[in-house]
Amino acid sequence: MNTQSEVLDASQVPWHDERSAAALAGWGYRLAIVGLGFSALVTQVTLMRELVGALAGNELVFGIVLGTWLLLMGIGAALGRATARLRWRLEAFLAAQALLAVLPWVSVWMFRWLRNVVFLRGAAIGVTETALCCLALLAPYCLLMGAVLTLATVVLASRRPQQAIGGVYYLDSIGGVAGGLLFSLVLVGRLDHFRILMVPALGNLVLAAWLARVSGRRVAAWVAGVSAAAVLIAGWRWDFDALSARFLYPGQTIVHRAGSPYGNLVVTGSPREYTFLENGVPLFSTQNLQQVEEEVHYAMAQRPGARQVLLVGGAISGTALELTKYPAVIDCTELDPMVLELGERFVPASLDHPRIVVHNTDGRLWVRRAEQRYDVVLINLPDPSTWQLNRFYTAEFFAEVKRCLAPGGVLSISVGRYENRLNPELAALVAVTDRTLRTQFARVLILPADRVRFLASDGPLSDDVASSLEAAGIATRFLNRRYLRATLADDRLADLRRAVRDDAPVNRDFNPILTFLLLRYWASQLDVKFLLFELVLGAIVLVCLVRFRPLSLAVFTTGWAASALEVVLLMGFQVLFGSVYHRVGLVVTMFMLGLAVGSWAMNRALARRGPRDLARIQWAIGLFAAGLPLVLHGLGRTPSGPLAMAASQVAIYGLALSLAVLVGMEFPLAGRIDGRAVAATTSRLYAADYLGAALGALVVSAVLIPLWGTATVCLLTAALNLASGAIVSVWYRATR
> pLDDT tens for residues 385-399?
777 788 899 999 999
Higher pLDDT: 165 or 332? It is 332
pLDDT tens digits for range 322-338: 999 999 999 999 887 88
pTM: 0.77
Pick the closest to residue 105 from 22, 10, 205, 201 (CA basis): 201
Lowest mean pLDDT, pick from 35-49, 166-180, 580-594: 580-594
Per-residue pLDDT tens over the stretch 377-386: 999 988 887 7
Say if residues 449 and 299 touch (Cβ distance below 8 Å): no
How many residues can be counted in the chain? 736
pLDDT digits (tens, 9 = 90+) for 595-634: 889 988 888 887 778 888 999 999 999 999 999 999 988 8
User: Rounded to 10 degrees, what is the CA torsion of 504, 507, 511, 512?
Assistant: 110
Q: Are 565 and 714 contacting, i.e. CB atoms less than 8 angstroms apart?
A: yes
pLDDT exceeds cutoff 90 at 419? no
Count each helix (H run) and each strand (E run) in the chain, helices first: 29, 11
Handedness of CA 569, 571, 575, 579 (dihedral sign): positive
- Which residues make Cβ contacts (< 8 Å) with residue 685, sequence separation at least 6? 165, 551, 552, 555, 667, 670, 671, 674
Under a CB-based contact definition with an 8 Å cutoff, are residues 386 and 433 in contact?
A: no
Question: At residue 569, what are phi and psi to the nearest 5 degrees?
Answer: -65, -40
Average pLDDT, the chain: 82
506 or 421, greater pLDDT = 506
β-pairing, 329-333 vs 374-379, is: unpaired
Cβ contact 93:155 at 8 Å: yes
For residue 581, which amino acid is it? Y
Cβ contacts of residue 481 below 8 Å, gap of 6+? Answer: 466, 470
DSSP string of 530-586? HHHHHHHHHHHHHHHHHHS-HHHHHHHHHHHHHHHHHHHHHHHHHHH-GGGGGGHHH
Q: Is 460 exposed, middle or buried (0-12, 13-18, 19+ CB in 10 A)?
A: exposed
Please check whether residue 615 is in contact with residue 623, taking contact to mean a CB–CB distance below 8 angstroms. Answer: no
Nearest-CA neighbor of 719 among 730, 711, 708, 709? 711
Of the pLDDT bands very low, low, confident and very high (cuts 50, 70, 90), residue 13 is very low
- Cα first-last separation, the chain: 10
Which residue type does 347 have? Answer: V
Residue 527: its pLDDT value, please? 46
- Average pLDDT of 340-344? 84
DSSP state of 700: I
Per-residue pLDDT reduced to its tens digit, 88-147: 777 787 888 888 888 998 888 888 887 766 665 555 566 667 777 788 888 999 999 988
List beta partners, residue 308: 329
Is the CA virtual torsion 258, 263, 267, 273 positive or negative?
negative
113: which residues sit within 8 A by CB, 6+ positions away? Answer: 244, 247
Tens-digit pLDDT profile for residues 423-438: 888 899 999 999 999 9
CA distance 298 to 294: 6
Q: pLDDT at position 235, please?
A: 80
Strands 308-312 and 281-285 come out as unpaired
Q: What is the 3-state secondary structure (H, E, C) of 270-313?
A: ECCEEEEEECCEEEEECCCHHHHHHHHHHHHCCCCCCCEEEEEC
